[in-house]
Amino acid sequence: MRINIDRHKKGFIGFIPLIVVGIIIYFVFFHSPTAPTKKYLAGGCKDCKENSNNIYVLETSDNLIEFNNSLQIITDEFYNKYPDNYDFLTIFPTFPISGTLGDTVANATSMKNDVKGICKPIEDKCFWQYCSFNKLLGINKFIYNDDSSYDLWGDAKEIATTTMHETAHHWSTSMGLNITDRLTSNGVNGSCYNSDLPLKDGYTEHWSKGLDMPGDNVDVLDSATHWTNMGGGYYESSLLKKPKFHPFDLYLMGLMGKEEFKSDFTLLTDIKDYGGALPNSQITPAGDYAVTAKETKVSINDILKIAGEDRQPLAKDSQKDFRMAFLILVRPGQSVPEKLQKNVEDAAKLLPTEWSYATDGKSTMNK
């Protein structure tokens, strides 16, 4: 039997581009020369037990500051020691770490989303980089620059509120960025980026501060608040109110169906901050502020129009009960600062009650 060497050479050569592409994909998405090799088995750490207070102290290396993939290293370490029982992780560094630096108090990274109709991309970063076997939805990171960051994080109540705020970013809000040249991604309709309705605060993922908040509350996302019409185009509000999720948040989170909306909401536009006395000669009380603005109305139909489709899954089929783990990161041999330890412990105790209140009892966290 004669073997055609040239033909086989050509066949092999034809596979070379595929081999090269495979190698590139491996090194870009799966391999990191600075990251530890994943040691866990499918299904997680079988013999590991979770801590009853959902707080975990992880000893991590100083050189995490050099890693762009620090979150992957942190989650690898966590899932090698503890079970995959949590929907969200909240990280508290006690030294500078790549990915947890900045000029804000905290930020959030979505790990997995399979919800359509909320203007968020369908994705699963855990599939190619971060380690969780089907549970982890998002990671909240408190920003550490130096020890003064502890004061910026605030007390236990502020930490609990910030944790809820960042967690809510998993669903809310990307409604109406008005970026006409932005490329749509998987699960995001073009209508999400082409709305002229100023529902959002600029390019941030927060509602406009002009969106009226029902009842005597402010929105957990630090934006919407309840406005009192003072007449003559003047409106007054207070930030010294208990945080709660706006009904639009509850819809995006899958906790409220569109059929449950019975009324519209006021939306102030062309807002200008107003100082000094109001038209009735009253001085704006401490903690309150006044604006001049125009008034319009918005409804759940505006949310549906921007999203381009109904939320899927519907509220009746959506997850309602969630778990949160608190991870305090320390250098090897370092102890957790006493004040931070107490604040995180107290925040962990507060979170279930605060979450239940903020969601109108429609959801649980660490029940």
Q: Give the pLDDT confidence of 51-61 residue by residue, as tens digits.
A: 999 999 998 86
Is the residue at 2 inside a domain?
A: no
Q: Has residue 312 got a pLDDT over 80? A: yes
Q: Which of 307, 325, 341 is the last residue of a domain?
A: 307
CA torsion through residues 355, 361, 364, 367, sign: positive
Cis peptide bond prior to 173, omega within 30° of 0: yes
C-alpha of 306 from chain center: 20
Share of residues in the chain with pLDDT > 70 (%) = 75
Is the residue at 339 inside a domain?
A: yes
SS3 121: coil
Residues 218 and 169 in one domain: no
Q: Which of 260, 289, 307 is the last residue of a domain?
A: 307
Residues 179 and 209 in one domain: no
Q: Has residue 30 got a pLDDT over 60? A: no
- Greatest mean pLDDT among 94-108, 183-197, 212-226, 308-322 lies in 308-322
Residues 152 and 299 in one domain: no
Residues 102 and 70 in one domain: yes
Which is nearest to 191 in space by CA: 205, 208, 179, 209?
Answer: 179
Residues 95 and 195 in one domain: yes
- pLDDT score recorded for residue 252: 97
How far apart CA 64 and CA 70 sit, in angstroms, is: 6
Confidence (pTM): 0.84
Is the residue at 128 inside a domain?
A: yes
- pLDDT score recorded for residue 125: 80
Residues 139 and 210 in one domain: no
Q: Which residue has the higher pLDDT, 24 or 353?
A: 353
Residues 62 and 189 in one domain: yes
Residues 206 and 279 in one domain: yes
- Any residues with CB less than 8 A from the CB of 137 and at least 6 apart, and which? 87, 88, 110, 111, 112, 113, 170
Residue found under tokens 């109305």: 297
User: Per mean pLDDT, which range of 76-80, 173-177, 308-312 is the poorest?
Assistant: 173-177
Strands 88-93 and 138-142 turn out to be: parallel
Mean pLDDT of 105-128: 87
Is the residue at 350 inside a domain?
A: yes
- pLDDT score recorded for residue 103: 66
SS3 307: helix
Q: Which of 307, 328, 350 is the last residue of a domain?
A: 307
Per the structure, the complete domain to which residue 255 belongs is given by: 202-307
Residues 73 and 158 in one domain: yes
Is the residue at 16 inside a domain?
A: no
Which is nearest to 324 in space by CA: 350, 289, 342?
Answer: 350
Confidence of residue 276 (pLDDT cuts 50, 70, 90): low
Is the residue at 12 inside a domain?
A: no
Mean pLDDT of 230-247: 86
Residues 97 and 146 in one domain: yes
Residues 156 and 217 in one domain: no
Confidence of residue 284 (pLDDT cuts 50, 70, 90): low
User: Per mean pLDDT, which range of 226-230, 309-313, 321-325, 338-342 is the poorest?
Assistant: 226-230
- Contact in structure between 75 and 132 (CB atoms under 8 Å): yes
Residues 152 and 167 in one domain: yes
- How many structural domains is the chain composed of? 2
Mean pLDDT of 9-34: 44
